[in-house]
Structure 1
């Protein structure tokens, strides 16, 4: 290491500017975060004696800052000058070669030594023989072992030996870990502190039983399930390792109830609907069995709706509900008009990460679409599955959604027309940088029928509008009749690619390409 410090003719108190050459990326950021003289740059004035003291420490600090990336033979040329009322500290860094890993020896002992999860964790250890030594990889590998043990219920697991040996003569590094899993713990009794709903309803949300091997995953799932329910505003699921009876860990669930009623009023404007307004009321807890109900009224230039529902939780299945609903709608987009009365019964439940819905809907619809007029009576069974995964509910930067639905009706079985429809929709979201997202969307559909013009517009496929092919009027794209009126079709293909940039809070700009018909 070489350093130059000029003699100044008297005390010179001034700001400090640091120049760093020879390192880039994460290594550069770590050096700048470690350099004491760089951290002093936030001060308006630094004394000459302090600048020289910090400058003399800089080569050693640079060396230490690069060691976590495997650089142990770093050379630094340093220079400190007083220029134009500013101290300029310059450092030219030659990191030198990186140490390579010559040995990775990881041994699991204890009851869990034969667990496949530990074997997979070892196989995916971030460092392998021949790799450059990166300390973060070593630490991440240890964390993965700890997380695996916690996930499998080995709560007393600990490292019997954890060594990262660096040999500067051979310029190699060795990883030597011995991890003792200890005994495997089981779930103990679970207790809830809320008395607002029946215990059986709460227990139906629990995905584990007393005596089963302890795992963090079902605890997180329980917290998510209860948190997503309409009954509680805050949920805490706490494994009480300190109260363990032998190898059984009791679980406490602390619940804060929501308000029993919710009222919501909204006004807005949409390119599809024009001015619009809505009023909704929800009764979250009608009794201790968790029954709930709600009603909604909405109106716009093209749509008026009123609907109500009654929901009954199913204690026989996890997160299952049975609901009945009824409603009326008057729909008047430019291509059609309809008066719709409907009633439905629905059973919804979770299957793994998927949400499954089985429904039976009876629909009466008086309609005019193009030159077609009619009255549709449809008794429609349907089955749908949906899956949603996102890192944030309000502004996701990573995630996706997929929805599949099958429905139909048979003439003579409560219906005056026959058809079968399959729908598939999906959306993917990815992040390019902070606030910049890429969104892809695909909607597919197909209907099998020989009586398309006897089906109401609610069953036919249309495109156009701000949730479909943007730049076209709502439901203005589709096959036409002999008079040129859009009457909807039997198949649907819509695709979209969008790039959006968040500007401030919930405001942003977007560019998109939509295609479909």
Structure 2
């Protein structure tokens, strides 16, 4: 550190002494530190500290504990030397927190061999900041990052000197410059000047930021995808400002593509020319295939087994494929997805989709085949998807077989803003889908359908309030000719608890559930932590119905209690719901393992 003005000799001596004080950064002559504010700690049995409390006592105790004592080799000379080192350490710990006039007296607790040392401390008046000057010269000064950093500086005029805080401020300012791409930033002045006669100190930090660096060429010669594909997946490009966070984001972005088993984005300092620093991408391609198996359970559909084969990188254009087979007691489904990235494969892509499914429930057996193409764009919390699907279905009710086909055009817009996708405690999200078909374009009937879903979660103290709602309506189309995928149903674990899965909908003369043209569902749930960490108790109210005419809308409702456990294998949900409609009030148990909100 430097001294830039003439001061009396006794003050100069004070400055030199002050700079030998150990501080939190470890950049001084002694290893003692100014301990962070925390619960009060006690010195080891060999030293007892008296006369000070709080952070002063904690820092002294932690610092003197660093002085080793070998009682087995004790002698009067060794004890005296150890005593002097302990006193020196205690004084340095006090100076680190602004007490330059502290008096430390030491005495042995008793006359026994290796007796504990008792330190009695008079901290004296503290030294306070009389002047704090922190200046940034250069373009970094006007940046938003610098403005935000200034608001966090702990050095304030009138407060007690903390040399650890001074070092943290100095190091933090230089780290800020490095993060923002000002790698040539240097201190023109960095000084802490102590006036022991007045018990005051001055802090001076003057940083010359220099010019910011920009990103030069990006070298990815060993990448498993074409250079043009890689560039579209990168959030940075040559000519952009160089920032550490931008480089880290580039690495995260590439890793999230699933094209790589390992990838690193590094600045090539040896190839730097002027203000341009090239980036080098080192990578290992992803395995040719990935396999996944999952087992889940919901009381509505029973156990379900899902197996997936994924091809994270089919060719150098970044295409990806996936086949998934789902098997449950009443539902079997086989899907195939082929993804073509337009920019990043997770944020903008074309998706070719194929699906075959068979569902047998409540006396109806339906087989459905579907193929389609969609374009999806994800930006921040927003999702936009536009697509076209060809859907063909065959429904067997036992007494009749109906077949239908629809060429559906669809648009979906959604927004998600939850703090946790698996167990949200704060935020909200919604999704709106509009789809339609017409007889003029290879469809069995004219059809227009809208479907809205919304969720909300917010903490009030330790209690989490959750709400969800669902609304759907259909215009046109003969209900008996619509596939189940185009009909609305209510009831079950993730709809209206207390009732069977998809049982809240219009029925035919034989009592078979047909589904409805419209849907309304709402739910409110209170969660409160109980017992061990990860356990929550729940109170809830559900209501809703699928129906054909708004004049016939009569929602079924239920109340209940439940439990949630954030287990290592997923969210375990147990609910006991009591229906409030009809003659029976028999409680219904709902079990689930997986995401249900």
Q: Distance in 2 between matches of 1:28 and 1:345?
A: 69
Contact 1:37 1:55 (8 Å CA) reproduced: no
What SS does the corresponding residue of 1:251 show, helix, strand or coil? strand
Paired position in structure 1 for 2:211: 183
Paired position in structure 2 for 1:356: 383
What are structure 1's unaligned runs of at least 5 residues? 1-14, 433-437, 503-507
Summarize the Cα distance change of 1:275–1:154 in structure 2 as closer, same or farther, 3 Å threshold: same
What are structure 2's unaligned runs of at least 5 residues? 1-43, 543-597
Q: Is 2:60 aligned against 1:34?
A: no
Q: 1:239 aligns with which of 250, 259, 267?
A: 267
Q: Distance in 2 between matches of 1:82 and 1:274?
A: 75
Summarize the Cα distance change of 1:209–1:267 in structure 2 as closer, same or farther, 3 Å threshold: closer
Q: 1:380 aligns with which of 403, 410, 435?
A: 410
Q: Write the mapping of 1:68-79 to structure 2, written as runs, cut at 5 A.
A: 68-74=96-102
Contact 1:424 1:444 (8 Å CA) reproduced: yes
In the TM superposition, what is the alpha-carbon distance from 1:91 to its structure 2 partner? Answer: 4.8
In the TM superposition, what is the alpha-carbon distance from 1:160 to its structure 2 partner? Answer: 0.8
Contact 1:262 1:282 (8 Å CA) reproduced: yes
In the TM superposition, what is the alpha-carbon distance from 1:288 to its structure 2 partner? Answer: 1.3
Q: Distance in 1 between matches of 2:538 and 2:334?
A: 35
Give the total of aligned pairs: 478
In the TM superposition, what is the alpha-carbon distance from 1:474 to its structure 2 partner? Answer: 8.9
Q: Distance in 2 between matches of 1:192 and 1:208?
A: 14
Paired position in structure 1 for 2:451: 421
RMSD: 4.8
Per-residue deviation, residues 8-36 of structure 1 (Å, max 9, x unmatched): xxxxxxx9465556666766554443223
Per-residue deviation, residues 145-192 of structure 1 (Å, max 9, x unmatched): 324323443221111111122333322232211111122322211110
Q: Distance in 2 between matches of 1:427 and 1:374?
A: 42
Paired position in structure 2 for 1:7: none
In the TM superposition, what is the alpha-carbon distance from 1:220 to its structure 2 partner? Answer: 1.7
What SS does the corresponding residue of 1:227 show, helix, strand or coil? helix
Per-residue deviation, residues 246-291 of structure 1 (Å, max 9, x unmatched): 2211111111111111122344656665444322111122211111
Paired position in structure 1 for 2:537: 512
What SS does the corresponding residue of 1:137 show, helix, strand or coil? helix
Q: Is 2:179 aligned against 1:171?
A: no
In the TM superposition, what is the alpha-carbon distance from 1:237 to its structure 2 partner? Answer: 0.9
Q: Is 2:89 aligned against 1:61?
A: yes
Q: 2:305 aligns with which of 277, 284, 288?
A: 277
Considering only CA atoms, is the larger Rg found in Structure 1 or Structure 2?
2
Summarize the Cα distance change of 1:307–1:501 in structure 2 as closer, same or farther, 3 Å threshold: farther
Q: 2:229 aligns with which of 188, 194, 201?
A: 201
Q: Distance in 2 between matches of 1:241 and 1:204?
A: 24
Q: Distance in 2 between matches of 1:20 and 1:337?
A: 81
Summarize the Cα distance change of 1:64–1:286 in structure 2 as closer, same or farther, 3 Å threshold: same
Contact 2:427 2:457 (8 Å CA) reproduced: yes
Summarize the Cα distance change of 1:265–1:152 in structure 2 as closer, same or farther, 3 Å threshold: closer
Q: Distance in 2 between matches of 1:428 and 1:85?
A: 63
Q: 2:430 aligns with which of 359, 382, 404?
A: 404
In the TM superposition, what is the alpha-carbon distance from 1:428 to its structure 2 partner? Answer: 7.7
Q: Distance in 2 between matches of 1:110 and 1:91?
A: 49
Summarize the Cα distance change of 1:78–1:226 in structure 2 as closer, same or farther, 3 Å threshold: same
What SS does the corresponding residue of 2:173 show, helix, strand or coil? helix
Summarize the Cα distance change of 1:32–1:316 in structure 2 as closer, same or farther, 3 Å threshold: closer
Using the TM superposition, name which of 228-237 and 308-317 deviates more.
308-317
Contact 1:37 1:51 (8 Å CA) reproduced: no
Q: Distance in 2 between matches of 1:306 and 1:418?
A: 27
Structure with bigger strand share is: 1
Q: Distance in 2 between matches of 1:273 and 1:30?
A: 61
Q: Write the mapping of 1:357-506 to structure 2, written as runs, cut at 5 A.
A: 357-360=384-387, 362=389, 379-386=409-416, 403-410=429-436, 412=438, 417-425=447-455, 440=464, 442-447=466-471, 449=473, 460=488, 465=493, 489-497=519-527, 499=529
Summarize the Cα distance change of 1:47–1:207 in structure 2 as closer, same or farther, 3 Å threshold: same
Summarize the Cα distance change of 1:66–1:292 in structure 2 as closer, same or farther, 3 Å threshold: same
Per-residue deviation, residues 465-494 of structure 1 (Å, max 9, x unmatched): 4x789xx679769967799x9999514334
Q: Distance in 1 between matches of 2:374 and 2:57?
A: 58
Q: Distance in 1 between matches of 2:425 and 2:452?
A: 24
Q: Distance in 2 between matches of 1:208 and 1:299?
A: 43
What SS does the corresponding residue of 2:233 show, helix, strand or coil? coil
Summarize the Cα distance change of 1:224–1:100 in structure 2 as closer, same or farther, 3 Å threshold: same
